């Protein structure tokens, strides 16, 4: 069973400034990825769903692309063989395509190298969740501004020791240990959120 504990961080000025810069860059990345998907949809599939040539199955243009020239890149994975030895090219989701393009983002905008790669990946998956919610009837994903985009998530590389937490590319950071985490826990994800009175971390953990 997953349990969430929330703590207020005691970050220094340098760490707080870095996290604020991360949020600004991640918000831009999120909005760019959303715009990329919308542009692909408007450019190629405005008339509705299409049929894949390879599988002859119906696919939704809101999450799947066939264009190799768009910013979302090649929709097909490298060739693999199934259990019968036949070659197959599984279709990649829009999120997979955009995650694969992250090295290109870092080359075009080197300042994104300051952000941990898994944080960038989770930011794309955040948009995937927004699309999933849309298909379940909860509204189309919206572009984010400073008031409604205030967090980022780690899923790897985080360590906790007493009242200190280690974050890749941010280092060790103290927090107010208001509630002890039981021994033998495994960290599944850590979400850092900026509030009016400072930074908070929500730790999702699972007991071993």
Does residue 52 have a pLDDT over 80?
Answer: no
Structural domain boundaries, residue 55? 2-80+89-207
Number of domains into which the chain is organized: 1
Closest Cα partner for 126 from 104, 101, 99?
99
CA-based R_g, the chain, Å = 20
pTM, two decimal places: 0.78
Q: What are phi and psi of 168, to 5 degrees?
A: -55, 130
Q: Using pLDDT thresholds of 50, 70 and 90, give the confidence band for residue 48.
A: low
73-92: per-residue pLDDT in tens?
A: 444 455 454 445 544 555 67
Torsion sign across C-alpha atoms 74, 79, 80, 85: positive
User: What is the DSSP code string of 57-85?
Assistant: -EE-TTT----SSSTT---BPPPEE-TTS
Work out the number of other CB atoms within 10 angstroms of the CB of residue 98.
26
């Amino acid at each position: 069973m997953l349990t969430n504990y929330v703590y207020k961080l005691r970050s220094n000025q340098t760490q707080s400034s870095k996290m604020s810069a991360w949020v600004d860059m991640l918000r831009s990345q999120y909005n760019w990825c959303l715009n990329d998907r919308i542009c692909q949809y408007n450019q190629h599939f405005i008339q509705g769903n299409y049929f894949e040539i390879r599988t002859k199955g119906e696919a939704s243009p809101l999450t799947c692309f066939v264009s190799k020239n768009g910013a979302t890149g090649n929709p097909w994975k490298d060739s693999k063989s199934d259990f019968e030895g036949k070659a197959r090219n599984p279709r990649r989701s829009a999120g997979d395509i955009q995650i694969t393009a992250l090295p290109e983002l870092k080359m075009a905008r080197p300042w994104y190298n300051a952000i941990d790669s898994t944080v960038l990946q989770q930011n794309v998956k955040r948009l995937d969740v927004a699309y999933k919610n849309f298909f379940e009837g909860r509204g189309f994903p919206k572009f984010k501004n400073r008031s409604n985009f205030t967090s980022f998530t780690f899923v790897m590389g985080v360590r906790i020791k007493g009242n200190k937490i280690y974050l890749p590319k941010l280092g060790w950071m103290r927090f107010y240990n208001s509630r002890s985490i039981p021994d033998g826990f495994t960290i599944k994800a850590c979400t850092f959120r900026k509030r009016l009175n400072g930074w908070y971390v929500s730790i999702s953990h699972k007991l071993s």
